[in-house]
Structure 1
Amino acid sequence: MHPIASEFLANTDVAGSRCNPAAAAALVLLCLGFLPSVAPCPPYCFCASDIISCSGRNLSVLPFDLPSYAARLDLSHNALVALHVDWISHMFERLTTLVLSKNSISRIEINVFTVTPHLLHLDLSSNHLTVLNSSVFTGLKELKELLLFGNWIVQINPGSFRDLHSLQKLYLSANRLTAFPLGLYEEPEGPRNLTFLDLSYNRLSEVPIQSLLSLTRHGQIYLQENPLVCDCALLALLEYWIWKQYRPMVNFRSEYPCRVNEASQYNCTQQGVSDMSRETQTYQVEPGKWLGVPCPELTLPVQEGLLVFWITPTMALNSSTNDSSARLTVHTNGTLEIRRALEEDSGTYGCVVARGRHYNPSESLEVTVVVGNVSITSASGLAHRSTAEHFNTAFTTLASCVVSIILVLLYLYLTPCRCRESRGGGSRGCGGRALMICSDPREVESAQRRSNGKRVAFLEPQAEDCDSGGAKTPPMNLDHITTEGILKNGSRTVGQSLTDAAHVA
């Protein structure tokens, strides 16, 4: 019997001893097909909370009656050969992880994954896929990680990764690819945030150097254990990656067929030493003007046919294409030419060329370009710096004065000491009021003060219009009081932290 029906019948006694009208109505609706059913856990699977595992059951077809509440579904280590559109009869709204590894899947139909719209991780590794067709992953707009390593993939058709807008990590290692899948980055409907691409252990003989120089600034691309053909361009790329401490290159340097110290074998190096400093160079130019930037550490004259790349803030260029209409071009001698400079051209520029030796990360192979009015920029910079310094000094001084005044006022009017009455019991007078700083009221004596601590007294002028009927109180004898200043009491200085040079700055 259906589990929901069993629950309703448990709460309904047909014999008349007890009757639940709501349960009876729900039972009628269930029988008519108006209430959704929840499939039980299949006998050949293991279900725990929202995890369903049907791994290692030698399944040749996908289970049709899987519960839809699953968040993780493991179908690995089975005998599946294809994924059909009707592989499941209902939506998996909560499914975030689908594991289909270690099967024999060779074909995936279009729109198979539309029933899993919220999938985040898809594992199709170690199967028999040979071609990725267009729109094969349609519907996986939230997918972040896709595992395809260990297949037989030889071709990736245009549009294969359409809809994968959120894809961040793609594993294509251990396949049979002979061409770099550049469409991953260039197709408008493909991944937009891809930061990890593993193409190791494939059959790539060449890679798009210029595109890689731009792509690897924003992500990691692993290319080790490919039969790459060594040439000057590839050596330049590997040199640059080593200098930038690019992790995929540093971690697997020994697994690349080309070695930086083999540059002389391919006639890529120049004799002599460049006169340019290895420190970062800065070039300034006014907007609309022309600027020529030489390549750091490149000896002249440049060997004929040597390819020089420049990485700009927006793109990568090389010396093989010299478009006279372009604003940014690279000459055969390695010089970068900027025509009609714009403020957007400001930034860091890197020159990539086979130099034939290792460079330390502290040595700079990059230059900085600043587009702006040089004289005005310098003068305004100095004026702004001077004004800022004067303002900071004046503001610090003013703040110190205000804080000092506030502390003095707090000291005067919030100190809990009280004035003592005169020996005769009379008042000292309204104009002779004094605020005494003392540590213990019992230490105050009428005739003299003990000399074991310093005392401070603040006196106000005696008012002439006192309404007291008695005679004026004679001035106080201050011979026994040592005046040390406004903010001192004994050996303690109240405002010391404000006058410290380290805090004023």
Structure 2
Amino acid sequence: MMGDSHCISHRATEAALRRRFITVLSFALLLPAVSISAQLTPLDYRKTCVCASNIISCSMMNLTNVPNGLPQYTAVLDLSFNSISRLRAEWTTVRLSRLDKLLLNNNGLTFLSSEAFVYVTKLRYLDLSSNGLRLLDELIFEPLEHLEVLLLYNNYISQIDRSAFSGLVMLQRLYLSHNQISRFPLELVKERSRLETLRLLDVSSNRIKVLPLQELQALPAWIKNGLYFHNNTLLCSCELYDMVASWHLKELSSATDFRSSHTCVLPGPQKEKMAILDLDKVHLNCSEVKIMDKEAYLEQFLMLDCDTRQKDIIKSWALPGNIPLSSANKTAVMRSDGSLQLGPLRVEDSGVYTCYATSDSFNETLYVTVVVFNSTASGGLENLKTAYTTLVACLVSIVLVLIYLYFTPCRCACCPGSDLEKDNPRDSLHSSTVSISQAHEETGQERVEGGGFPYRHVGFLDIKDQLEQNGRLNPIGEEDEEWQGDNKERRRSDAESVSSVCSDTPMVV
């Protein structure tokens, strides 16, 4: 009996264990189904998130999708530190017209639908930092016309479409640091395409090698004050040093706050990093940057800019000697943009002009030194014109002298080589022509062989003087009978006389 009872109890135990095993196995098989059904079922924000009035916090809930059924009065939605990798167009099916802040940071987000923000157009703060975004498509943020702050730092962004930020007419701060950007987004700050309200653009810690230096230097100070580009692989140059040094002298926050982080890569195979502000010492020997005074001349007009680090603040000017600007002063007028127009300038207008910029949270004082020279700019130009005129006159005189020496015009009635003959040889005296006496060819040859020099006489005879020559020698010291000599010799003498006048040798009377 006892053996039978022991066998019965053993069998009962096995049956009980068998039933328990089946129960556990059935539960184990049902768990995946429950899990799958839970994922397919829309999440209820009331069960997965913490609600506090109009704030819904779903942070660190291991979510892969955005909970559905969000109330329309939601003002702040925190979805940070989850696993939401794709933000689709249908992530919300209702228009969240009061949503002011959306936090999606630290989610591993790799995809943004082009219609992801159609139902949240009133957003003012959007945090997409610390995700896996690689590119920003065109017009991706266009519906967010009220957005003021956009955080995109610590992603893998390498491509930004030039129209990606179009439509963000209220954007004030844009953070793009710690990405893989290689092109500076100049369209965000340049004159005609910039976002007018943008006060801070952070592109630090990227892969930018070249900056548009001239365009950046031309920007107003309130933009440069919030333009951060440190910790990039910029190529060293004196132009880069000039820009950073001038920003540092003006105490712009973008230069002074991260002075040690403003580095560049020296040219050469070693790719050595160097502090930009040290380029003037050893490596590139760049010239020292100084803030120059304003210089002008008498009667000129001069414009003084009050280039402050903040936008839309109240500005006022004080004249040299800390004299307040008044409407009675006609030579100093403040313009609508806050600049000061001076002119026509006088010597007493030299001095230090002070611009006071004030607002509720920020005050700034700028000093501009003006030097007025005691001369007019037009006077200097007139002196320069006089110098040029004198130089031209000297050159013309030299040319005329050379023409006279080497291209003397023939003054004779009969030039050499012409066949014209005068009927009366005495006409040469009446017409004030030149006649030169020369001995016969034999006598001339004797003189030359004897070391003498043939000479020529030049005479100019007036009619009045000719009348007084009766009974006297003619002007060339010969008797009147010689004028009746041999025609052949006379013609030869006339030809030689003509050729002598056209010769280069000096003429002696």
TM-score range, shorter chain: 0.3 to 0.5
Considering only CA atoms, is the larger Rg found in Structure 1 or Structure 2? 2
Greater fraction helix: 2
TM-score of the superposed pair, with normalisation by structure 2: 0.47
Higher relative CO (Cα under 8 Å, sequence separation at least 6) belongs to 1
TM-score of the superposed pair, with normalisation by structure 1: 0.48
